[in-house]
Structure 1
Amino acid sequence: MRPLLRVVRGEPSAEELAALTAVVAALSQRRERTRPTPLGGWASRTDAVRRPLHHGPGGWHASGRFA
């Protein structure tokens, strides 16, 4: 059977090898990636700053959200 780790240079202590083995074993476990929850349009803070209202035809439409 092939060794999991091979020391190429230096003489690590038993504690150092144990710590390295624990880190490599933890990193090798497959984990499901968690993606951040996407925020919908209603959670956007950019709409908190209101744009100037436009007068004239279509002004009511420009005053609403997502105009």
Structure 2
Amino acid sequence: MTAEDKPFLQVVRGDPSPEEIAALVAVLTARARAAAAARAGGEPRTSRWADRSRLVRTPVSGGLPPRGPSAWRASGLPR
């Protein structure tokens, strides 16, 4: 038996109906197409929560860090 003659799916346990097998094939096909589309889409979209660039402080006016009694708070908090 060659690789082309082997079945793609094999039922190991139970007795699924033809409708259940068709549903399984439909789900596997949809997942394979979605994965192929994601690979072909280029760069994956990064969530804003996972984007580490938001942690980098933007300079305030004049490029100097904040001054004053509460400046230590502003120096560590993202804007």
- TM-score, L = length of structure 2: 0.45
Q: Give the gaps of 5 or more residues in structure 2.
A: 57-67
Larger Rg: 1
In the other structure, the counterpart of 1:23 is 27
RMSD of equivalent CA atoms: 3.0
When structure 1 is superposed on structure 2, of 14-23 and 31-40 the one drifting more is: 31-40
Runs (4 or more) in structure 1 with deviation over 3 Å come to none
Structure with a larger share of its residues in helix: 2
CA distance in 2 between counterparts of 1:14 and 1:26 reads 18
What secondary structure is seen at the aligned counterpart in 2 of 1:11? coil
Return the structure number with greater relative CO, CA threshold 8 A, min gap 6: 2
Aligned residue identity for 1:34: R
Aligned residues: 51
Between the aligned residues of both structures, percent identity stands at 33
In the other structure, the counterpart of 1:40 is 54
CA distance in 2 between counterparts of 1:4 and 1:35 reads 35
Corresponding position: 1:6 with 2:10:
yes
